[in-house]
Amino acid sequence: MNTFIIVFLLLLGAYFVAVLEVWISKGRFQLAAPLFAAIAFLGRESFIPRKPDQLFYEVGPVLLLLSAVLAAAVIPLTPDLIMTDLATGALFINAALVYVLVALLMAGWGPDGAYAMIGGWRFLGQLIAYAMLIVMPITAVVMRAESLLSTQIVISQAGLWNIVYQPLGFILFFIASMALAFLPPFDLMIAKGELASGVEAEYSGMRLAIFRLGRLVLIITLASANVIFYLGGWQGPELFGYSLPPWAWSAIKILAVTMVMLFAGHYMPRIREAHLLSWCWMFGIPLALINIFIVGVLLLEFP
Amino acid sequence: MSPELMIALIAGAALFGIGIYGALSQTNLVMILMGVELILAGAMVNLVAFWRYLHPDVAAGQMFVLIVMTVMAVEMAVGFGVAIARFRARGSVEMEEAVELKG
Amino acid sequence: MTVQAFFIGFFGLAAVWFGIVVFRTFSMMRSALALLFSQTALGAMFLSMQAEFLGVLQIMMMATEMSIMAIFMVMFMMDPGGLGEMEMTHQKRLSLIAGFVSFVGAVAVAVFVDWGPVASTFPDATQQTVELGLELLDRSMLIFETAGITILTAMIAATAVAIEPEKKSVTDEP
């Protein structure tokens, strides 16, 4: 039962992200735009390259959608609404999100075309940059919670949200999640100006719809992960003894983080994965290690 | 002698055998590395099976598995560094052509 | 046959089948991704043996490592797409015999040795993680630190071997 509710909410969130993307790119707030776009996708002709690697060509977009939904399986929206409260929840999110890379590699190699293949390998370069920046801030968060259970991580932020306790970790995790979801300015692999849409170049029709849907669900999943690790999940301050129900706080926070993610990179130039690699490995990883050190010292000083 | 332990040990033995076949029969350095990965995977399955069914209260069993994972990662890193250097020197990483030190 | 035995058998079979595909297919990319899914099946085997932390860790690490192996295959191998269908093995009979002998030997040891009583209780997942953490930082701290320094040395060594030496620029000469 929980599974169906959460999948339905994920699709609702994906619809909202699609509306936001239309708002950013066209400047108008059209609530029905994703619906028309989905119907158009179903009706369009589906081009297939001449000699694709059939297995990879078909499996790529599906694996992207699957890994995004799997990563959302351990994210609690309210204290009871969680698909499965694994004892290693924080690590499982990371494990499921690595398969986004495998999906993009398959989608890049499958169509047997140069543009898609280079787009796929560019994402591998990005992964080497952002992978450590996802794992190390999660380590600092888990240090405070003293448990890998995601519900326990939210409960440990009852006194002070992690964004105030570990701001450095939040900035690094936010940037790394934007790079994982290949949002602008890290969207070298699917941008329209780069290699004729890179990985999306050879997909059309139903497969492109699933690819795009997988990407939208991935954005919502990453926003939820940001919220439960750093923004206190379903908890909110009380005002005159009244407080919103937990699901309302979760919804507001997730939608706010999504809006910041989408609007933040819109005006920045696209970052090449070579520059991202040097920035992350020269500045990002030392900062993440300093973050772990600072959190350790804080935890020992103020029990 | 539980059936689960047997099945896990047989699977580990099969992976080990396939890994030895691959490591001995392939001519390319990258494929030999894949064979070695399979050998270490077989060893890991055996370790976890022994930990789970014979001594589950000793955490050193899981520690051993972490060390084997570390060895896999390190061996891959150094192996690929050597492959790059060899490729730059000769233009291929085929082991059949690596006869400079022979005889 | 309990449910656990069924799952271990299923994932073990998947791991072995993907392992065979690694060496039977001609396409190098399929070979690398088959190895990836073989390691994923291995991680699933760990999960069904209730070693939760190890299973999730295996699934996560091996996806990254095998993807890096995939790009190295495309860089270094002659026919990454596999459409040329080249046969790239040597001493095939010797290696088949060696593989088979080692498999039979390991199975014989597994079947004929008396492993002792099977444990009836095991710690649950949260307790396992806590105990593993305590073991790492308390009793096996020296091993852990040595492993960390070994990884760092290997990273530096591999990067140093792979850096291309600087060539003198032609435009510098008068």
Kindly report, residue by residue over A107-138, the tens digit of the pLDDT.
Answer: 988 888 888 888 888 899 999 999 999 999 99
Q: For residue C128, what pLDDT band results from cuts at 50, 70 and 90?
A: confident
Task: Please indicate if any CB of chain B lies within 8 Å of the CB of C163.
Answer: no
> ∠ CA A293-C62-A101 to the nearest 5 degrees?
85
C-alpha span between A234 and B20 (Å, rounded) = 52
Q: Which residues of C touch B18 (CB under 8 A)?
A: 16, 19-20, 22-23, 99
β-partners of residue A242 are A239
The angle, 0 to 180 degrees and rounded to 10, between the axes of the packed helices A2-26 and A206-230 is: 100
The pLDDT value given to residue B11 = 94
pLDDT of C172 over the 60 cut: no
The pLDDT value given to residue A46 = 83
Q: Which residues of C touch A92 (CB under 8 A)?
A: 56
User: How would you label C14-43 residue by residue, b for 16+ Cβ within 10 Å and e otherwise?
Assistant: bbbebbbbbbeeebbbbbbbbbbbbbbbbb
Instruction: Kindly report the average pLDDT of chain C as a whole number.
Output: 87
Q: With CB atoms and an 8 Å threshold, state whether B9 touches C19.
A: no
Domain assignments of chain C as residue spans, ordered by start: 1-79, 129-162
Residues 6+ apart with CB under 8 A from A253: A227, A231, A232, A233
The pLDDT value given to residue B38 = 94
- Which chains touch C (3+ CB pairs under 8 A)? A, B
Mean pLDDT to the nearest integer, C64-90: 82
Q: State the smallest CA–CA distance between residue C109 and chain B in angstroms.
A: 10
Instruction: Kindly report the average pLDDT of chain A as a whole number.
Output: 88
Q: State the smallest CA–CA distance between residue C126 and chain A in angstroms.
A: 6
Q: With CB atoms and an 8 Å threshold, state whether B70 touches C151.
A: yes
Q: Which residues of A touch C29 (CB under 8 A)?
A: 53, 56, 109
C-alpha span between C12 and C18 (Å, rounded) = 10
pLDDT of A188 over the 90 cut: no
Could you identify the residue written with the tokens 């520690």?
B63
The pLDDT value given to residue C168 = 65
Nearest-CA neighbor of B32 among B89, B98, B100?
B98
Tell me how crowded residue A292 is: count the other CB atoms within 10 A of its CB: 17
pLDDT of A197 over the 80 cut: no
CATH of domain B3-101: 1.10.287.3510
Distances (CA, A) of A203 to A33, A87, A209, A264, A297: 21, 38, 9, 28, 50
Which of A99, A109, A152 should we substitute to test contact with C (largest number of C Cβ atoms within 10 Å)?
A109
Torsion of CA B68, B69, B70, B74, to 10 degrees: 100
pTM, to two decimals? 0.90
Q: Which residues of C touch A99 (CB under 8 A)?
A: 63
pLDDT of C173 over the 60 cut: no
Of B17, B53, B78, Cβ closest to residue C154? B78
Of C53, C60, C125, Cβ closest to residue A98? C60
Q: Which residues of C touch B84 (CB under 8 A)?
A: 161-162
Q: With CB atoms and an 8 Å threshold, state whether C52 touches A88.
A: yes
> Which tens digits make up the pLDDT trace of B31-86?
999 999 999 999 999 999 999 988 888 888 889 999 999 999 999 999 999 899 88
> ∠ CA C94-C97-C100 to the nearest 5 degrees?
150
pLDDT of A49 over the 80 cut: yes
Q: Which residues of B touch C34 (CB under 8 A)?
A: none
Query: Of A30-44, A284-298, B85-99, C68-82, where does the model show the most confidence?
Result: A284-298
- Which chains touch B (3+ CB pairs under 8 A)? C
Could you give the count of Cα atoms lying within 13 Å of B33 in the half-sphere of its Cβ?
26
Could you identify the residue written with the tokens 């989408």?
A262
Mean pLDDT to the nearest integer, A244-255: 85
Of C56, C68, C126, Cβ closest to residue A92? C56
Domain assignments of chain B as residue spans, ordered by start: 3-101
Distances (CA, A) of A157 to A85, A254, A256, A269: 18, 17, 19, 35
pLDDT of A62 over the 90 cut: yes
Which of C86, C88, C129, C153 should we substitute to test contact with B (largest number of B Cβ atoms within 10 Å)?
C88
Q: With CB atoms and an 8 Å threshold, state whether A124 touches C126.
A: no
C-alpha span between A217 and A223 (Å, rounded) = 10
C-alpha span between A292 and C164 (Å, rounded) = 34
Mean pLDDT to the nearest integer, A197-219: 88
Chains A, B in contact, 3 or more Cβ pairs below 8 Å: no
Distances (CA, A) of A48 to A58, A102, A111, A128, A210: 11, 21, 8, 31, 15
Q: What is the 3-state secondary structure (H, E, C) of A85-113?
A: CCCCHHHHHHHHHHHHHHHHHHHHHCCCC
Q: Are A289 and A133 in contact (CB under 8 A)?
A: no
The pLDDT value given to residue A294 = 94
Q: With CB atoms and an 8 Å threshold, state whether C33 touches A106.
A: yes
Q: Are A225 and A93 in contact (CB under 8 A)?
A: yes
Residues 6+ apart with CB under 8 A from B27: B94, B95, B96, C88, C89, C90
Q: Tell me the residue type at A236.
A: G
The pLDDT value given to residue C153 = 92
Residues 6+ apart with CB under 8 A from A138: A90, A91, A93, A94, A173, A229
Tell me how crowded residue A255 is: count the other CB atoms within 10 A of its CB: 17
pLDDT of C11 over the 70 cut: yes
pLDDT of A240 over the 70 cut: no
Tell me how crowded residue A128 is: count the other CB atoms within 10 A of its CB: 17
Q: With CB atoms and an 8 Å threshold, state whether A101 touches C53.
A: no
The pLDDT value given to residue A298 = 92
Q: Which residues of A touch C54 (CB under 8 A)?
A: none
Q: With CB atoms and an 8 Å threshold, state whether A148 touches C129.
A: yes
Q: With CB atoms and an 8 Å threshold, state whether C51 touches B87.
A: no
Q: State the smallest CA–CA distance between residue A14 and chain C in angstroms.
A: 25
The pLDDT value given to residue B46 = 94
Q: Are A84 and A71 in contact (CB under 8 A)?
A: no
Q: How close are the terminal C-alpha atoms of chain C, in Å? A: 82
The pLDDT value given to residue C63 = 92
The pLDDT value given to residue A241 = 65
Q: State the smallest CA–CA distance between residue C174 and chain B in angstroms.
A: 30
Could you give the count of Cα atoms lying within 13 Å of C62 in the half-sphere of its Cβ?
27
pLDDT of C135 over the 90 cut: no
Could you identify the residue written with the tokens 């909110």?
A236
Q: State the smallest CA–CA distance between residue C60 and chain A in angstroms.
A: 4
Task: Please indicate if any CB of chain C lies within 8 Å of the CB of A94.
Answer: yes
Share of chain A above pLDDT 90, in %: 39
Q: With CB atoms and an 8 Å threshold, state whether C33 touches A149.
A: no
